Structure 1
Amino acid sequence: MNIKKNAFLLGLIHFLSEFRLYAAVAVLYFTEISGSMMLGMGVFSVAMLSGAVLELPTGILSDLVGRRRTIVLGAAASLISIMLYSVGKGILWLMAAAVFEGLSQALFSGNNEAFLYGHLKSAGREEEYKAFLGKILSMAHIALSVSALIGSLMLIFGTYAMLFRLSIIPRALGLAAALFPDEPETTDRDRKSPWHHLRESLWEVCRNSKLLRIFIADSLSDGAGEAAYQFRASFLKMVWPVWAIGLAGTLGDVLAAFSFWISERWIDRKGYKGVILVSFQIFGVVSLAIYMNLFKTDEV
């Protein structure tokens, strides 16, 4: 079993699934199609809600059909999602696309990490998990930074719809790449019923107060952070040309990719808790700076 090959393919799948030429201006496209800013933001809400609701059943499915097949299903759902977004005929199409996007996120969530850990565990290299995972996750932010830059430049001559249609290509390539990884070897514990795994997971969360607090904080942070990120384009459109909106996120994704790439060293040096605290402090400072600039703009 070739760990490097499977890790490379997993990183490639992350890269292709996050190569979103439209990412920086998606809310503007949704608002244009639906005719309402509220409905445009509602598309993101449906995607996040469906992902949260489907998190549990897709986890059970992953145990039943295997990690590799779940990756294939996630890539297929991602492709269907972008194809439905590209149709652009009304809010119902957008909402259907959002459901498939949430399904894709739920299928990938946890499963891809378990896929990687399973391969490392079978080779007795579990201690390298954070190093591999950091580099794989950095590929997603590299894709976001590169695609945001390219998408911004393409908007000089193109349209929002064009960015969505061209984004079908990397999703299709991602589905093709998902067919090649090997299934991790299973242990006796892995062969237990998925309901047994579910009971174990719920018990661990309930009895471990620290794990529960981390879960709640992570959920709140992701929800608020995603909403702020998606709404940013509507604000920037008032002060920047549309083609330049994507440039605002490019630097952030570049820095995120770099931080994931070196995350193993930071974790070894500062510990998990130290890295989490620093990340929240940086997020708070950046958010405060954005709000202060927003109020200054309103005063002008």
Structure 2
Amino acid sequence: MDITANLWKLYALRFFSSLIPAYVIERLYWEERGMTIQMVVYTEIIYAVTIVLLEVPTGVIADKWGRKRMLVISALLGCGEFIILLAATEFWHFALVVLLAGVSRSAGSGSENALLYDSLIVQGRASSFEKELGRLNVCDFVSSVLAALSGSLLASRLGLELNYWISLGSALIALLISLLLAEPSPNGRNASAEESIPFKRYVAESLLFFRTNPGVRVVLLSGMVTGTALGFIDEFWQLYANRLGTPVLYFGLLSAALMVLRMPGNLLVHVLLNRFSYRTLLITVTAVFAAGFTFAAISKNYAGLAAMLVICFFSGVMEPLAAGYLHHRIDSSMRATIDSFQSLGLNVFHIAAGLGFGYFSVRYDVFGGYGFIALLCAAFLGWLIVASHQTEKETKQRANG
């Protein structure tokens, strides 16, 4: 199969995987069927724990047996999620859905980036990884914006359930596209040797990689913390807007704005890296997160929603920045495994943050939850300033020594 066609297939896969109008009214649909904020937080923890348990094993499987196979499994499970949600009425139904979502996420997270990078290697274009990943993310956002705008309009006129039927159709198309992907085999990658490598060696070499690369640890921790914080905007902005009395009709516009504002960062991250250091970009974005969540928690009005928009604008650089920093420094044979460790760390943070978010949301509604996230970002910002300076200093000493 033609490896050069993988890129447009990945674009198409991202597009239909994100063309999910159910997401724009997800929290309202769940709340309508009896799910409280605390229950939603419990399901988020189930989701995160599932990923923590499966992320590394699925990454190893992807490296040993093929990234395409894992993407197909991920798409298949995505279809199963919406079939269950259409009939969900009890907590355990939603718990099962997030369990499947966790398995799906684990199967696809490291596999997609690994398949993209190796496809670029085959074409001699590995240096353009950040650019292509940023464009993939923009494709994701464009699709999500279309889904949000149409989904809010349909929900306001025809009810919430129709969005889930349409989302199931989109998930089925994504499954068909995943079957068309080709498995790349970059130069120097020995498939038979990889199959013989035991699981423990994959894990041991991955951990050794992180121990011997302090710069990677700083960048990935930054991505984990900001990714976790951003996740609470994606998951709970609907409740924040609902508490302000925002009509459902406008949810699509809000969702679109939250995603469109992430596009510039994704498209320009490779340009920003030519002008600013990693340290400057990481500290700036984390500082905006800390200030933005603080304002959202305190204001309890539309200015708080505006603060979320600002956070989304600055967040766009983080995923391609962290992923590019990582993938430029790892071998193809371990690519999905090590990328999976990044996702594992993100979800460990999400579990811890979810407990705090749920605790404060029960007592002070969603505003209190965002206050907790503000404290988390502020604490990490202090650590980041010190740790990144020390890492930068050590790097210069090794270069001069």
Q: Confirm or deny a common fold (TM above 0.5).
A: yes
Moved more, 92-101 or 29-38: 29-38
- Which residue number in structure 2 is paired with residue 222 of structure 1? 227
Residue 243 of structure 2 corresponds to residue 235 of structure 1:
no
Residue 242 of structure 2 corresponds to residue 244 of structure 1:
no
Q: Deviations over 1:106-161 (max 9, x none)?
A: 11112111101111212322112222111112211112222111111112212222
Task: Quote how far apart the aligned CAs of 1:3 are.
Answer: 5.0
Pick one of 272, 292, 295 that aligns with 1:289.
Answer: 295
Would you say the 8 A contact 1:71–1:111 is kept in 2?
yes
Q: Deviations over 1:65-95 (max 9, x none)?
A: 2011111111111111222222223221111
Closer/same/farther in 2, CA of residues 59 and 209 from structure 1, 3 Å limit: same
Structure 2 unaligned regions, length at least 5: 305-363, 365-401
Moved more, 175-184 or 156-165: 156-165
Q: Deviations over 1:213-262 (max 9, x none)?
A: 33333333323331243122112113211222232221121121232123
For 1:287, give the aligned amino acid: F
Structure 1 unaligned regions, length at least 5: none
Closer/same/farther in 2, CA of residues 214 and 259 from structure 1, 3 Å limit: closer
Task: Quote how far apart the aligned CAs of 1:96 are.
Answer: 0.8
Aligned equivalents of 1:25 and 1:49: distance in 2?
25
Identity between Structure 1 and Structure 2 (%): 19
- Which residue number in structure 2 is paired with residue 279 of structure 1? 285
Would you say the 8 A contact 1:139–1:257 is kept in 2?
no
Aligned equivalents of 2:37 and 2:285: distance in 1?
30
- Which residue number in structure 2 is paired with residue 108 of structure 1? 108
Closer/same/farther in 2, CA of residues 165 and 194 from structure 1, 3 Å limit: farther
Would you say the 8 A contact 2:145–2:256 is kept in 1?
yes
- Which residue number in structure 2 is paired with residue 147 of structure 1? 147
For 1:28, give the aligned amino acid: L
For 1:290, give the aligned amino acid: A
Moved more, 72-81 or 244-253: 244-253
Would you say the 8 A contact 2:72–2:175 is kept in 1?
yes
Aligned equivalents of 1:45 and 1:161: distance in 2?
25
Task: Quote how far apart the aligned CAs of 1:35 are.
Answer: 4.3
- Which residue number in structure 2 is paired with residue 158 of structure 1? 158
- Which residue number in structure 1 is paired with residue 272 of structure 2? 266
- Which residue number in structure 2 is paired with residue 168 of structure 1? 168
Matches within 5 A, 1:48-63: 48-63=48-63
Would you say the 8 A contact 1:63–1:194 is kept in 2?
no
Cα RMSD between the aligned structures? 2.4
Q: Counterpart of 1:157 in 2: which secondary structure? A: helix
Aligned length: 298
Aligned equivalents of 2:8 and 2:116: distance in 1?
10
Q: Give the TM-score normalised by structure 2.
A: 0.68
Aligned equivalents of 2:78 and 2:84: distance in 1?
10
For 1:226, give the aligned amino acid: G
